[in-house]
C-alpha cells in the first residue's frame, strides 16, 4: 500500500489529551494509563494524517490476500503460568474498510462502551485519495484536501471545524519523509519526520511542535514479513517504555490473527484481528 506523509500538530495533541478520559475510565491503573497515552498520540496522528499513509497505514504492511475489512480488538491481559490470559476488558477496538484496490477507505475507533470515538473517511478519484475527513463523536474535526504536487513533493490543505486553514508540505527522499504544517502566514506550526527501511516499514518517526521541541518519537524493528517486533516510545523527550510483540495465530492467507503485546517485558494486552476477504 502507498504511503503519504502527515504532521502531528501541537493543537491536536492538546485536543486528543482532553478526550482521553472518554476512552479509558480507570486511569489509576498504570497499564491503562500508559495505553491511554499511546492511543492519544495515535489518535492525534490519525486526525492529522492524510489518506493512505503514515503510522496508521503501517499496521497493514505485508498483509496477503485482498482484505475487504479488518476488525482489531485489544483486550487487557494478565500473565498466567507463562501464557497471556485475555480479560473481558476491551482496551481499544477499530474497524477498517478498504477499496477494491486495497486502499484504506474508512477507520472507526470505539471505546470500551462501544461508542464511536473517532472516525476517518478517505475520498478517492481515479484511484487517488483527494480528501480526508476526521470526526470525533460524530462532529467534524477537520478536512484535508489535496492541493498540488508529485509523488516526492506535495501539499495538502487542512481546514479545521472552526474554519482555520493550514497547509501540510511534504518532501520525500529515498528513505525519509518530512512534513511541515504551516499557518496562513507561512509559519511552521509542527513538523513530522519519518524514516523507512528497505521494505518500506516505518522504523523511526519524530513529531515536533511549533518551537521545534520534540513532542513524540518512536523507534521500531520489524521481521521479514513487515510484522512489528519492538516499538520504543518517547513523549516530550521522556522515555515512555518499549513494546514488544509476538504473533500467535494466523489465517489461511498467512495474516496474523492474534498478537501478544508486552510493555517493558510484561504482558499488557492481547490483540485480535478479524479479517474479511
10-276: CATH architecture: Beta Barrel (2.40)
Max Cα distance, the chain (Å) = 60
C-alpha span between 43 and 31 (Å, rounded): 18
Tell me the three cell numbers of residue 184.
Answer: 496562513
Q: Which whole-number Å values give the CA distances from 123 to 35, 179, 244, in the listed order?
A: 30, 21, 34
7 closest CA partner among 54, 51, 40: 54
DSSP labels, 60-115: TTT--S--SEEEEEEEEEEEETTEEEEEEEEEEEEEEEE-TTS-EEEEEEE-TTS-
The β-bridge partners of 86 are 77
- Provide the residue ranges of all domains of the chain, joining segments of one domain with +: 10-276
Decide if 17 contacts 40 (C-beta within 8 A).
yes
Q: Which helix (H) or strand (E) segment is 268 a member of? A: strand 266-276
Tell me the three cell numbers of residue 222.
Answer: 520489524
> What is the pTM (predicted TM-score) of this model?
0.79
At 1 the three-state DSSP class reads coil
Q: What is the rounded (10 degree) CA torsion for 57, 271, 117, 204?
A: -40
Decide if 180 contacts 168 (C-beta within 8 A).
yes
The pLDDT score that the predictor gives to residue 102 is 87
The pLDDT score that the predictor gives to residue 44 is 46
C-alpha span between 140 and 131 (Å, rounded): 14
At 15 the three-state DSSP class reads helix
Residues whose CB falls within 8 Å of the CB of residue 171, separated by 6 or more in sequence, listed in order: 152, 153, 177, 178, 179
Mean pLDDT by 10 residues, the chain (277 residues): 36 39 40 46 44 60 90 89 74 92 91 89 91 93 92 93 94 94 94 93 94 93 95 92 96 96 93 96
Tell me the three cell numbers of residue 140.
Answer: 467534524
The pLDDT score that the predictor gives to residue 236 is 86
Amino acid at each position: 500500500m502507498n504511503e503519504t506523509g502527515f504532521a502531528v500538530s501541537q493543537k491536536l495533541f492538546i485536543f486528543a489529551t482532553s478526550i482521553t478520559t472518554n476512552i479509558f475510565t480507570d486511569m489509576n491503573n498504570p497499564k491503562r494509563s500508559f495505553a491511554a497515552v499511546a492511543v492519544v498520540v495515535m489518535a492525534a496522528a490519525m486526525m492529522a494524517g492524510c489518506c493512505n499513509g503514515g503510522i496508521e497505514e503501517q499496521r497493514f504492511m505485508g498483509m496477503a490476500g485482498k482484505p475487504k475489512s479488518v476488525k482489531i480488538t485489544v483486550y487487557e491481559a494478565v500473565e498466567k503460568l507463562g501464557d497471556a490470559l485475555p480479560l473481558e476488558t476491551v482496551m481499544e477496538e477499530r474497524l477498517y474498510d478498504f477499496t477494491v484496490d486495497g486502499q484504506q477507505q474508512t477507520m472507526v475507533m470505539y471505546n470500551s462502551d462501544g461508542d464511536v470515538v473517532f472516525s476517518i473517511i478517505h475520498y478517492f478519484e481515479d484511484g487517488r485519495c483527494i480528501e480526508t475527513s476526521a470526526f470525533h463523536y460524530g462532529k467534524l474535526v477537520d478536512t484535508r484536501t489535496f492541493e498540488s504536487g508529485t509523488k516526492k513533493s506535495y501539499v495538502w490543505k487542512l481546514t479545521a471545524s472552526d474554519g482555520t486553514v493550514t497547509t501540510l508540505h511534504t518532501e520525500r527522499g529515498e528513505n525519509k519523509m518530512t512534513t511541515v504544517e504551516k499557518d496562513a502566514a507561512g509559519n511552521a506550526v509542527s513538523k513530522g519526520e519519518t524514516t523507512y527501511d528497505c521494505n518500506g516499514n516505518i522504523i523511526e518517526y519524530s513529531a515536533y511542535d511549533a518551537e521545534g521541541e520534540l513532542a513524540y518519537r518512536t523507534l521500531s524493528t520489524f521481521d521479514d514479513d513487515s510484522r512489528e517486533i519492538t516499538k520504543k516510545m518517547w513523549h516530550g523527550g521522556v522515555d515512555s517504555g518499549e513494546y514488544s510483540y509476538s504473533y500467535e495465530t494466523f489465517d489461511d492467507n498467512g495474516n496474523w490473527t492474534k498478537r501478544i503485546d508486552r510493555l517493558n517485558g510484561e504482558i499488557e494486552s492481547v490483540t485480535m484481528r478479524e479479517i474479511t476477504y
